[in-house]
């Protein structure tokens, strides 16, 4: 719980600074890239956290990991995480930063589970309907889950709409058992 609070503070600070410098999109892309590289190379965070690696070498590695997304703000931010020994919170910070960006841009992240892969046209149609229902832009993460048998399950931050065949069978089973 304490780590989540700390991660939220770092994410909010980066968000505020990025917004003030009009670098929100650049920070979002750079943070995503650094998380991607750190995920691919798990040793990166261990190396950056090692006390015997020279400061200049750590700065060079941060710059290299950011690649084309390197900005002075992001480089300072990552070096701050390294110097304060908070790099292990990177993935949580990235999630919290995305939450801040979504709130600012009025975007609702959704997880959509479907029994089968949806064609692009059907995804667009679903997105339009969900945007009307939620009265905000949506970012859909679509996952195929064959266990649903048919239909879909839509999950927002605080609501689940189960329109799957499996969910309907479960509801019917409960009704029949009463």
pLDDT truncated to tens, each residue of the chain (178 aa)? 788 899 999 999 999 999 999 999 999 999 998 888 888 777 777 888 888 888 888 888 888 888 888 899 998 998 888 888 888 898 999 999 999 999 999 999 999 999 899 999 999 999 999 999 889 999 999 999 999 888 899 998 888 999 998 888 888 899 998 8
pTM of the complete model: 0.76
φ/ψ region of 108 (left if φ > 0, alpha if ψ in -120 to 50, else beta) reads: beta
Helical H segments across 67-160, by residue range: 72-83, 90-105, 120-134
Closest CA to 118 of 141, 97, 93: 141
Closest CA to 67 of 103, 26, 109, 97: 26
85 DSSP assignment = T
> What's the pLDDT score for residue 34?
85
Q: Which residues contact 78 (CB under 8 A, 6 or more apart)?
A: 34, 62, 65, 66, 87
> What's the pLDDT score for residue 157?
83
> What's the pLDDT score for residue 61?
85
């Amino acid at each position: 719980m304490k780590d989540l609070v700390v991660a939220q503070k770092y994410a909010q600070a980066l968000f505020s600074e990025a917004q003030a410098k009009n670098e929100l999109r650049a920070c979002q892309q750079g943070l995503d890239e650094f998380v991607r590289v750190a995920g691919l190379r798990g040793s990166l965070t261990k190396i950056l956290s090692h006390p015997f690696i020279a400061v200049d070498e750590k700065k060079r590695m941060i710059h290299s990991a950011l690649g084309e997304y390197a900005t002075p703000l992001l480089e300072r931010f990552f070096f701050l995480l390294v110097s304060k020994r908070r790099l292990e919170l990177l993935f949580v910070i990235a999630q919290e930063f995305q939450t801040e960006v979504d709130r600012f841009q009025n975007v609702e992240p959704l997880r959509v589970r479907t029994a089968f892969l949806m064609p692009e046209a059907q995804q667009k149609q679903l997105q339009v309907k969900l945007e009307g229902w939620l009265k905000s832009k949506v970012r859909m993460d679509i996952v195929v889950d064959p266990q649903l048998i048919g239909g879909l399950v839509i999950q927002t931050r605080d609501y689940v709409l189960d329109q799957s065949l499996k969910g309907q069978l479960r509801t019917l089973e409960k009704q029949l058992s009463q």
